[in-house]
Amino acid sequence: MSLEVVLLGLSTVEVLPLFHLYPGGSALRLLSKPLKVLECEYDLEVCSWARGPEAFTSVEIPLDAVKHLTYRWGCDIVFLDGLEPLGFFNAGYLKGYLGEDVILASRAHGFTGPSNHVDYYLVEDLSIIAGDEALRRNVVKLVEDLQSRGKPFELHVYTVNPYIEEVGELADLAGGAGVPLHVTIYHPRGGGPVRSLYEHLRRRAKIVYVHTSIYDEIDTKCPNCGTILLYRAGGALRGVNLNDSSCPNCGTPIPIVGRIRGRSRESLLRITRGRVVWFNPLFYKSMLTGKTQPPT
């Protein structure tokens, strides 16, 4: 039995970004070919995935290798990566082979429906950077479907500018669903506009994270009293201030799936340097023996 992948990756969970699934944990990432072509003129990673499936060559690797790497690298989750990976991966087949103890997570963009075999989703809205409003409607339908199934997820919105008009509808959607909201801003236009947008979003959604090229708002704060609960920097979890997944100051529960590490493992950070390390899947045999070293 085998699986078609473009690249194999290793990273912290925070890099994905998933901040409420095994905080401080690690992910084995299986990058698939993109499901379709999207127009995207920006130099974001997701834009690279969207600009032409013909640029990606899949390699078949045995499922034994995926399972072995998951345990050898001490990964907390297996993450289906790329542009709508559920269009290529059979989640039920993969979950059945890896076993119920393995947490399976996936990106989702609304091109395909959710799978009951995926434990956690990173739902991403690409409508602004792709210039296609229909993509947002797909995401809204997907969120409604996940809510009806009781599936946990985080919502990630890509925007060009720090304008509430580009985010507002999905901020309200995240607030109504009670899920974390991530906003990646391509043109931050200075710290003031970013901070203003962040404060505006926090009035509409309970838990908000903002990612930009100049600075990030990525610590988890209590939505009730503002106490910092999870400290992050450099693609890693650096500290935890929680009492059984609740705020130690006011007792407000914080949505967490899986156990919380005190901080990201130093051994993992030495390898990844707080980023994702991609491997050519053709070298999976040397990965299994530990001979393949991450690129510097």
Per-residue pLDDT of 281-296, as tens digits, reads 988 778 777 655 554 3
pLDDT in tens, 44-91: 989 988 887 667 888 999 999 999 999 999 999 999 999 999 998 999
Q: What is the mean pLDDT of residues 18-30?
A: 97
Burial of 38-58, coded b for 16+ CB within 10 Å and e otherwise, reads: bebeeeeebbebbbebeebeb
pLDDT in tens, 135-157: 999 999 999 999 999 999 999 99
Q: Rounded distance, CA 203 to CA 270, Å?
A: 38
pLDDT in tens, 234-267: 999 999 999 999 999 999 999 999 999 889 999 9
pLDDT of residue 286: 81
pLDDT of residue 53: 67
- 103 pairs with which residues across the strands? 77
Q: Structural domains in the chain? A: 2-289 (3.20.20.70)
pLDDT-above-90 percentage for the chain: 85
pLDDT in tens, 155-196: 999 999 999 999 989 999 999 999 999 999 999 999 999 999
- 278 pairs with which residues across the strands? 9
Q: What is the mean pLDDT of residues 265-278?
A: 95
Mean pLDDT value across the chain: 93
